[in-house]
Structure 1
């Protein structure tokens, strides 16, 4: 697990520094190098960072690339300001492409981790998928997932809230990380926060509700377990979406 933590920390450093270093190195060629070419070079850097699969690093790389592109390559130079509409468009597209790539890479990492996890986890995913096909109601799938999450994450309990986002509890994200307030919570060292943690059930761009996880103090769920938990929540959302379309 420490392998992922160390790699993610390095990815953040690279995300912040690499676009600056590359942009500064290209400044001497500013007169002869089209801005679109510079943007493509920076996209490559963002893709390289995002390939690590750590969403935050990819997002930071995209933001950093857009900022330094603006600073070094759009008049007035050495200022965070843009005068021409074409440069505004290039900067915005650079940012959007970087953000999209980071999201795709984070999902790829999640799938890669699940692919190498043990047969017990895979069996839970398969079992839930089969239940979703034959269950008489989406509520049955939701309760099944809540029960599996309790065991999977070592919880004291788990309940589901339909279609509500009251309050701002800590949140288990799609990449297996946990956000508390505006900061990342170190689950690998501290376990889940000592309060209810939400795991949102989102499918097809719609929010269907959230699983409220009641952590057991001292229990540290693995990254694999957290990623499987996210997958199970996605399956519950899919069942709710299907039920809503009937």
Structure 2
């Protein structure tokens, strides 16, 4: 799985930011209580968690607890803690940091899902409006959908064959329910990724196949989500409606 630049930066921040904050707080360790020092380090954990993923947040929590122990508990510059209250503070700092990192990561995932769902909905609505309005020819609409499929599924290429026949079940096929069928079996995309070569996506309207989109995934790409695959099926269906000359989407 590819690591994004944002996640790489977050992992680096998880290691360095708590250390730097612990250094900045050194002049205050005699004037602030250990509880307040720990709370300030939690702020760093929250910031790293918001920037990166749950692993970066967990690493930041571990780093914050370690540097709190090293710089702000006696004996100083040692990972040994003598005072029981300091042990409890360090443990609570770690636990709170881990909890915050998980909550922040969860919020980030939910935000990303919400944004993706909105983008998917807008794609379908935009193409539906074109079909209804007749603002472009069927060929132009198919080309628009082909480009949408490349962006939606993160494909290397997508080709449309109008009125084409299936390759006698030799090629994997994206089903109407978003599942992937390979040689008669359901393919687990989440675990296995895209199958090698091309994958068929039929453009079907009124029970008739108007053509086939041939999907070529990019090497090593993260598999498309079930929601994205369902949107791809809907877009192919809209292409079929346009090719069949049906612009009233209320008709079956």
Q: TM-score, normalised by structure 1?
A: 0.52
Aligned twin of 1:216: 195
Q: Distance in 1 between matches of 2:227 and 2:106?
A: 12
1:64-143 mapped onto 2 (5 Å cutoff): 64-117=63-116, 118-119=119-120
The structure 1 residue matched to 2:187, chosen from 157, 174, 182, is 157
Deviations 1:81-119 (A, max 9, x none): 111211111111111111111111111111111111133
* Higher gyration radius (CA): 2
Distance 1:228 1:42, change over 3 A: farther
Q: Which moved more, 1:112-121 or 1:83-92?
A: 112-121
Distance 1:90 1:19, change over 3 A: same
Aligned twin of 1:15: 14
Q: Distance in 2 between matches of 1:60 and 1:41?
A: 17
Q: Which moved more, 1:75-84 or 1:61-70?
A: 75-84
Q: Distance in 2 between matches of 1:112 and 1:80?
A: 38
Q: Which moved more, 1:113-122 or 1:45-54?
A: 113-122
- Deviation at 1:228? 5.6
SS at match of 1:45: helix
SS at match of 1:116: helix
Q: TM-score, normalised by structure 2?
A: 0.51
Q: Distance in 1 between matches of 2:40 and 2:98?
A: 16
CA contact (8 A) 1:76 1:82 kept: yes
Distance 1:219 1:11, change over 3 A: closer
Distance 1:157 1:62, change over 3 A: same
Distance 1:115 1:227, change over 3 A: farther
Give the unaligned 5+ runs of structure 1. Answer: 124-146, 160-171, 173-196, 198-212, 230-246
Q: Distance in 2 between matches of 1:34 and 1:150?
A: 58
Give the unaligned 5+ runs of structure 2. Answer: 125-176, 197-218, 229-252
Q: Distance in 1 between matches of 2:109 and 2:88?
A: 32
SS at match of 2:74: coil
- Deviation at 1:158? 2.5
Q: Distance in 1 between matches of 2:89 and 2:226?
A: 35
Q: Which moved more, 1:65-74 or 1:110-119?
A: 110-119
Deviations 1:166-199 (A, max 9, x none): xxxxxx7xxxxxxxxxxxxxxxxxxxxxxxx3xx
Aligned twin of 2:36: 37
Aligned twin of 1:193: none
Q: Distance in 2 between matches of 1:36 and 1:91?
A: 9
Pairwise CA RMSD of aligned residues? 3.2
Aligned twin of 2:62: 63
The number of equivalent residue pairs is: 148
- Deviation at 1:72? 0.6
SS at match of 1:80: coil
